[in-house]
């Protein structure tokens, strides 16, 4: 993924120290700016004009889905986050060449971008496809889909907006399902069979051709959705001992 989980588990994983020293970059229609030239949180409405809905993809890999959507639906504004510099540059160049001026591309660590740079509750949809499952327990903190971090992802959604997710690591997909199923205020459903428009990423097209099982789901956020996952509160809420005693 762009960010902590590598989208489409590309193998282009950058170490934590390496990622920390890489600058956050923002590109729109071939015009690239470092974060230092912008304000945080990002004023996405000023960066991409218009009144259209916003859709976000976290870890866009080669950008197949994001660019296709931006070109097919120019009235919608899109934002993609990717950690791998190569894929960030690739999509930025392609978007510029094809005139996708409704597509904002961000290079950075996903958890940092979500927690410090993107405004809350602005997205009408969030897409996460084939993220790295980080199967070793010591790497679980790098996942987006953990009880302590899922709030950053869901916090992007407006009430009534949806998270769309897919993975070929079915065991990991079931863990994600369980985390989302125990989150108050989410309407959760599995997508049986392929997406209506066909595969959304290069990896998905390959896996479908190979007949590999894929778990796809939608999580829709209600106005009553919680602010923190119940299982993750202990990991993110830290206060003086006097508070904890009280």
| Residues marked as catalytic | 132
What DSSP string runs through the chain? --SSSPBTT-S----HHHHHHSPPEEEETTEEEEGGGS-SS--HHHHS-SS--EEEEES-TT-HHHHHHHHH-TTSEEEEEES-HHHHHHHHHHHHHTT-TTEEEEES-HHHIIIIISPTT-EEEEEEESB----SGGGGGG-SSSTTTHHHHHTTEEEEEEEEEEES-HHHHHHHHHHHHTSTTEEEEE--SS-TT--SSHHHHHHHHHT---EEEEEEEPTT--SS-GGGHHHH----HHHHH-
């Amino acid at each position: 993924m762009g960010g902590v989980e590598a989208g489409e588990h590309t193998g282009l994983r950058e170490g934590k120290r390496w990622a920390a020293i890489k600058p956050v970059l923002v590109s729109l229609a071939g015009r690239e700016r470092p974060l230092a030239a912008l304000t945080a949180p990002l004023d996405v409405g000023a960066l991409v004009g218009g009144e259209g809905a916003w859709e976000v993809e976290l870890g866009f890999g080669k950008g197949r889905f994001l660019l296709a959507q931006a070109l097919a639906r120019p009235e919608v504004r899109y934002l993609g986050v990717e950690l791998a510099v190569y894929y960030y540059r690739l999509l930025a160049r392609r978007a510029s060449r094809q005139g996708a001026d409704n597509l904002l591309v961000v290079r950075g660590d996903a958890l940092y971008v979500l927690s410090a740079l993107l405004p809350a509750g602005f997205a009408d949809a969030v897409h996460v496809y084939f993220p790295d499952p980080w199967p070793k327990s010591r790497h679980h903190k790098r996942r987006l889909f953990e009880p302590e971090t899922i709030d950053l992802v869901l916090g992007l959604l407006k009430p009534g907006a949806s998270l769309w997710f897919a993975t070929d690591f079915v065991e990991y997909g079931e863990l994600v399902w369980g985390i989302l199923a125990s989150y108050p205020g989410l309407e959760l459903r599995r997508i049986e069979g392929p997406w209506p428009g066909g595969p959304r990423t290069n990896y998905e097209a390959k896996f479908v051709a190979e007949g590999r099982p894929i778990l796809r789901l939608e999580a829709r956020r209600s106005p009553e959705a919680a602010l923190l996952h119940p299982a993750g509160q202990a990991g993110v809420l830290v206060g003086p001992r006097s508070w904890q005693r009280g």
